[in-house]
A and B are shown apart, each in its own frame.
Chain A
Amino acid sequence: MWLAQLAERNRQCFPNRTALVDEHRSTTWAEFHDRTAELARGLAELGVRRGDRVVVLSQDRVEVLESYFAIARLGALFVPLNHSVAAPEAAEMIERVGAVALLGESELLDRHADLPSVRIRIAFDKPEFAALGSTAPEVELPEVADTDPVAVLHTSATTGRAKGVTVDSGSFRAIALGWLVQARPTDDIVLVNCCPLYHGSMVVSLTYMAAGATLVLLPGFTPQRALAAVEQHRATHMWLVPQMLRFMFQAKAAETADLSSLREILYGAAPMPIDVYTDAVRRLGCGFRQVYGMTEVGGPFVTLGPDEHPEPGDVTARIPCGRVIPGMSARAVDKHGAEVGRGEIGEIVVRGPGVMQGYWNDPDATREVTLDGWIITGDLGFLDSDGRIHLVDRSKDVIIRAGQNVYPSEVERVLLTHPAVRDAAVVGVADDDYGEVPLAHVVAEGVTAGELLAHLKDNLAPYKRPRRIEFTDAIPRNPAGKILKKQLRT
């Protein structure tokens, strides 16, 4: 089983090196390996069996990853949940997967008192978790095959209810091995993980663990925490969404923080605004790596390395997503599923050993995103002559104005080239004449709507220009940094 092998290999190769560190404690690879085996025995003693679902509800901390590995070693499924969702929504997800156990921070577990399927509750911050497994008998843990499901990861739900994605052990293996070949992370990496471990982006963290890297975990992102973590641990890498970089450089701590240890910034989940990229390159002087992934295809499956990023300062530059990792396949297809030519826009579909087994107990939803063995990403894009994928937009977000396609990301990109604009999101709104027209929501200071419309006029074809500019204090985004367009349409 991949996760068990990962822990065993790193105990063998780097027993005394730090594997994980959070604000309270750290653990070496030897300790991590032994603790996950101990926890697995402890959970088995409490009656957790192969195929059972165990929900983990916590901010990022060492115990979260210890639990994931322990649960998977048993052949049970770990089910991380976004701890910031409302209690009824979390309860619905817990019941939907039929969880038998709930692990996490006591403050979060206490919000869910009445859950019929749950018979085991253990809080990370209570003595019973520290003691879990310490007196359990040495039992043979079951063999877990690559085809055995080991996790249910929930989607980030930008368009509706979060879906549970069933992931098998082979998926984690395939993505990690492909990433290790393509991105070549080394075992001296210290990675500050700014993204939550409760959804698909956690596969990036698992992949760097596979390389033997040290992971620095934050109990929720704040610019101050992230900056302090880089300084304190002399971090070489950070994994974040672009909006986090923008926030980091707005913090006063950024003026004095020593970030000279950074070698690479991994970013994903949302496009990198060129102004943020330019500012970050100039301030940090390190490499940037784009991560394009999706929970349904096993996590990160495309990457663009530092060598292929544009020179900072070129405001017209478009950063491609990158190339698919070895072992996975991706192509752009038309509405009939036929591959389109290089440079032609189609829907990006993916297949390979990383893709999900399906949505948990939801074959209809699984069928909706599957086409002849390919997963339909819902992203529109094209491949260039060098095999790099360029994303154009989400297929659901395309605005069809009188039969002409308007890609919101293109309009957003132009808006963001105006020096007064800090953030922007474009959505389609109903229009009697055209069916649908673009509406821009903008965060900006010292500029009028008329000036922005003039700026758009200089840079966009007439049919792409928004009819109206709405100024707002913030663009709503989910914790992964994706724009919540549904909120903007209402």
Chain B
Amino acid sequence: MSTIRTLLVELTGTEEFAESVGDDVDLAASGIDSGDLVRLVLLVEQRTGVEITAEDMEHLRTIADYERFVSERAATTGGA
């Protein structure tokens, strides 16, 4: 399971949501609570060490967006 999906399992407490939502589905429109989306961003920051700015968030809508963002940042910083 990808990093973001693992975090979604942690957030929602069930694998059902993380497994059912497609890579390119807009998470905000997928039925996830808006508070969970806030927590997802915080968890990504905590677990990967990558900072997400307000501007970055404009481009983070789907699981694929998050995965791409984290891997790109990890590549440029050599971390994560």
Contact = CB atoms under 8 A, between A and B. Distances in A.
Interface in A233-266: 243, 247, 250-253
B41 A222 contact: yes
Interface string B31-60: 001111111011001100001111111000
Given A247-B38, A479-B34, A228 B13 contact: no
Contact of B13 (A253, A472, A479): A472
Interface string A469-488: 00011101101000000000
B42 A225 contact: no
A228 B53 contact: yes
Nearest to B46: A250
Nearest to B50: A252
Contacts of B51: 252-253
Nearest to B12: A473
B19 interface: no
B11 interface: yes
Contacts of B15: none
Contacts of A227: 54
A84 B34 contact: yes
A362 B27 CA distance: 37
B54 A225 contact: yes
A60 B65 CA distance: 24
Contacts of B34: 84, 220, 479
A334 B34 CA distance: 39
Contacts of B72: none
A133 interface: no
A224 interface: yes
A337 to B, nearest CB: 38
A38 B56 CA distance: 36
Contacts of A474: 11, 35-36, 39
Contacts of A220: 34
A393 B56 CA distance: 40
Contact of A221 (B12, B13, B38, B52): B38
Given A224-B52, A228-B53, A479-B34, A251 B42 contact: yes
A223 interface: yes
A224 B57 contact: yes
B41 A224 contact: yes
Contact of B35 (A252, A253, A477): A477
22 contacts: A221-B38, A222-B37, A222-B38, A223-B38, A224-B41, A224-B52, A224-B53, A224-B54, A224-B56, A228-B53, A228-B54, A228-B55, A243-B35, A247-B38, A250-B42, A251-B45, A252-B51, A252-B52, A473-B12, A474-B39, A477-B35, A479-B34
Interface of B: 10-13, 33-39, 41-42, 45-46, 51-57
Nearest 3 A/B pairs, CB to CB:
A228-B54, A252-B51, A224-B54
